[in-house]
A and B are shown apart, each in its own frame.
Chain A
Amino acid sequence: MSCGNSGVAPLVFGIGNRDRGDDGVGRHIAARLAAAGLDAVEHSGDGADLLNEWPRDRAVIVIDAMRSGAAPGSIRRFDAVAAPLPAGVFALSSHALGLAFAVEMARTLARLPPALTVIGIEIERVATGAELSPAVAAAADRLVAELMDERARGDRPPSLRAAGEAIQG
């Protein structure tokens, strides 16, 4: 099944809260990608709602703020089809069900997209109404450039490549 859609570019979700400083970085990036013509949407990050929005036949990228202890502005990619997200890293929301809930509930219900890449950006501060901090804004610039470049090259996320190879095999 995924072979038929493997040429379609991933759908990007940028999640977070734009009114909480760096927590909104995912949404800032999604807005810039959408303005550049990529399929990218902003989302609140409500886990129950997010998994309802994931397509079943198309690769998905989720960009979210992360707090892992790395240097602010660090970017990490997680193949969420291959393994659960590390505990606590994406638990910034004050709401009960977040990104980790969405990923694991989708896995339990066999509703994961064929590829699901979570890109985390290490944040510095989540002050109400604040702008992005300089390190995080710079990381946003780098990630936008990377994703545009990957789109131009037609790169596919690792889990989709694996799925495609397995199917072809």
Chain B
Amino acid sequence: MSNAKTRTIKVDALARVEGEGALDLRIRDGVVTELKFRIYEPPRFFEAFLRGRMYSEAPDITARICGICPIAYMLGASQAMEQALGVAVTGTLRDLRRLIYCGEWIESHVLHAAMLHAPDFLGMQDAFELAKVHPEVVNSALELKKLGNHILEVVGGRAIHPVNLKVGGFYRAPATAKVRALIAPLRRGITQGAELGRLFGSFSFPDYEDDYTFVCLKHPDEYAIHEGRVVSNRRLDIPIDDYLVHFQEDHIRHSTALHGTTRKGEPYMVGPLARYAMNYEQLTPIARALASELGLGPVVRNPFKSILVRMVETVLACEEALRLAESYTEPAAGAVAITPRAGVGHGLTEAPRGICYHRYRLDDEGRILDARIMPPTSQNQPQIEADLRGVVQANLNLSNDELQWRCEQTIRNYDPCISCSTHFLKLNVVRE
């Protein structure tokens, strides 16, 4: 098989990713001659239909971009508006935002790592096979996901597309007792997250590394989630306002999602591996101990180990949420007052999959003149293609079936959310 001159692998609909996409791969004389990670879902025109809407509508409208990570959109939009309108959300309201974002990291990371990605490492087709062999994994994952969802309900009013977030803060701050009731399940969540991490640590990981350009938020006082400056391991350190000065999106023929690159046209990586490498010193104690136990150094360059870093971040999110819940007291007001004015604002937060960037321009009544949104998957898309090329080139000895499996696993390293990037996977491989 591997001696054939031409090999074609076609995956017409990738499973276990959010949204629909495909992969076309052509190999000639042992060299990858064509590799297209195609995203063919229709474009959704969010940026266009935000024009003319009021600043206050952007969080709820953009939340609809994603059912898995609505907080990334709601907070990115809210914080962009707040910057444009000259207000700051601080103190307990800021803590509540970090708390609900921790809930989103927990539910999204656990869903992906345990239910969608773990089967790849065990030679299993899906979470049902996993549940037969390791019911304890699935039961723990379901409980952790429920915990994440519950945080969204307590702070955000409901788990999918929360309704309690707005520009300036919250419609109504949750009662002290409701937030404090999260303490016991969060303590349990730390233990469960670490147990899942240890189990995933026993997987065998494909031997593959790359010298990635990691891009993420960094904050002086905490493992950055929703505030900070944009940094990279190539010595970039910029305010979020300058994001479009350094990063760009291009249309390419084979994808309805835009392709994000640096201004030099190079791919970069956003998401767990980037955050972990750039913010390692700020890991919470149990998350850091877990990383150490799993044999992870301060930088992880093997993309297949992203499943471990997701569990480290899950534990971190539980620890952070616990700290915030323990210190919470219901504030007098749920939001700061807003006075509309003309301006431009940027919002940039760490969605579970990586940087989610928003920019809006408002008129003097607070009406949106134009909007720009860069979701994480479109930024990772060129890096996913680069990884695929590298992984295929390093595994030409594999049969087509094995190669297809490895390619799908490679794509799932990124927890791609095709629904968000427009919205993903079919794999087509030609060996010539």
Contacts and interface: CB of A to CB of B under 8 A. Distances in A.
Contacts of A96: 18, 68, 111, 116
Q: Tell me if B's interface is mostly helix, strand, loop or mixed.
A: helix
A108 B132 contact: yes
A153 interface: no
A108 B18 CA distance: 23
Contact of A51 (B142, B159, B419): B142
Interface string A127-148: 0000000000000000000000
A162 to B, nearest CB: 25
Contacts of B109: none
Interface residues of A, number: 15
Q: Which 10 A-B pairs have the closest CB atoms?
A: A108-B131, A52-B146, A95-B67, A44-B160, A48-B145, A109-B135, A108-B128, A49-B149, A109-B131, A48-B142
A2 B149 CA distance: 30
A44 B159 contact: yes
A44 B163 CA distance: 13
Nearest to B143: A52
A152 B242 CA distance: 66
Interface string A104-126: 11001110000000000000000
Interface in B91-145: 111, 115-116, 127-128, 131-132, 135, 138-139, 142-143, 145
Given A44-B158, A46-B149, A95-B160, A105 B111 contact: no
Nearest to A17: B160
A110 B128 CA distance: 12
A95 B111 CA distance: 12
Given A44-B160, A48-B142, 13 more contacts: A46-B149, A46-B159, A49-B159, A52-B145, A94-B419, A96-B18, A105-B131, A105-B142, A108-B128, A108-B135, A109-B131, A109-B139, A110-B135
Interface in A35-93: 44, 46, 48-49, 51-52
Interface residues of B, number: 22
Contacts of A109: 131, 135, 138-139
Q: Identify the interface centre among B115, B142, B158: most chain A CB within 10 Å of its CB.
A: B142
A105 B67 contact: no
A46 B419 CA distance: 17
Interface of B: 18, 67-68, 111, 115-116, 127-128, 131-132, 135, 138-139, 142-143, 145-146, 149, 158-160, 419
Interface of A: 44, 46, 48-49, 51-52, 94-97, 104-105, 108-110
A58 to B, nearest CB: 19
Contacts of A104: 128
A128 B160 CA distance: 16
Contacts of A49: 145-146, 149, 159
A48 B146 CA distance: 8
A48 B139 contact: no
Contacts of A46: 149, 159-160
B132 to A, nearest CB: 6
B62 to A, nearest CB: 15
Contacts of A97: 111, 115
B419 A105 contact: no
B418 to A, nearest CB: 11
A55 B331 CA distance: 36
21 contacts: A44-B159, A46-B159, A48-B111, A48-B142, A48-B145, A49-B145, A49-B149, A49-B159, A51-B142, A52-B142, A52-B146, A94-B419, A95-B68, A95-B160, A96-B68, A96-B116, A97-B111, A97-B115, A108-B128, A108-B132, A109-B135
Nearest to A105: B131
Nearest to B129: A108
Q: Identify the interface centre among A96, A97, A108: most chain B CB within 10 Å of its CB.
A: A96
A106 to B, nearest CB: 10
Nearest to B17: A96
Q: Identify the interface centre among A49, A94, A110: most chain B CB within 10 Å of its CB.
A: A49
Contacts of B67: 94-95
A108 B131 CA distance: 6
A94 B142 CA distance: 19
A105 B145 contact: no
A46 B142 CA distance: 11
Nearest to B136: A109
Contacts of B139: 109
Contacts of B111: 48, 96-97
Contacts of A51: 142
A48 B138 CA distance: 10
A105 B139 CA distance: 10
Nearest to B132: A108
Nearest to A53: B146
A95 B135 CA distance: 23
A97 B142 CA distance: 12
Contacts of B419: 94
Contacts of B132: 108
B53 to A, nearest CB: 15
